[in-house]
Amino acid sequence: MFAFLVLQYQRPPLDLITIEEPERALHPYLLDELIQFLRKLTTGEVGKQPVQVILATHSAELLDYVHPEEVRFLTRSAENGSVQVNEAQTNTPHWKQVYKEYRESLGGIWLSGGLGGVPGR
């Protein structure tokens, strides 16, 4: 967590931060704290200027701390190997029903295969 906290003090200031599996080596309690902090970095609330943050994860638990509109799901096409980038269709009646059924667990919906990014589905 300390490594994430010092990001705001990097000189020169960062424009972009990419983090692979930010949940590794963190206690699950800190996941929400981490996401809130990174969100503040993106708005400029923390640090000198707004920073774009890109996270790559396979953690359904981490997905439960982000807003659905902040997430993109990557799926590789079986036909030609290309990568498709999908967003959750958050402004449809179907989405609202599914989100409610899964108790607003984006991670749960993702693991069900309904959003892409799950091998074999």
Q: By C-alpha distance, which of 95, 91, 116, 113 is closest to 104?
A: 95
The two tokens of residue 29 are: 């309690």
Q: Which amino acid is at 45?
A: E
**pLDDT more than 90, % of the chain:** 65
- What pLDDT score was predicted for residue 100? 94
Q: Which residue's entry shows tokens 């449809």? A: 92
Q: Which parts of 6-81 fold into alpha helices (H)?
A: 29-43, 60-63
Q: Mean pLDDT of all residues in the chain?
A: 91
At 120, the pLDDT band (50, 70, 90 cuts) reads: low
Per-residue pLDDT of 58-89, as tens digits, reads 999 999 999 999 999 888 888 999 998 989 98
Quote the CA–CA distance of 36 and 1 in Å, as a whole number.
Answer: 12
Q: By C-alpha distance, which of 98, 111, 1, 96 is closest to 57?
A: 111
Per-residue pLDDT of 103-119, as tens digits, reads 999 999 999 988 877 76
Element of type H or E holding 15: none
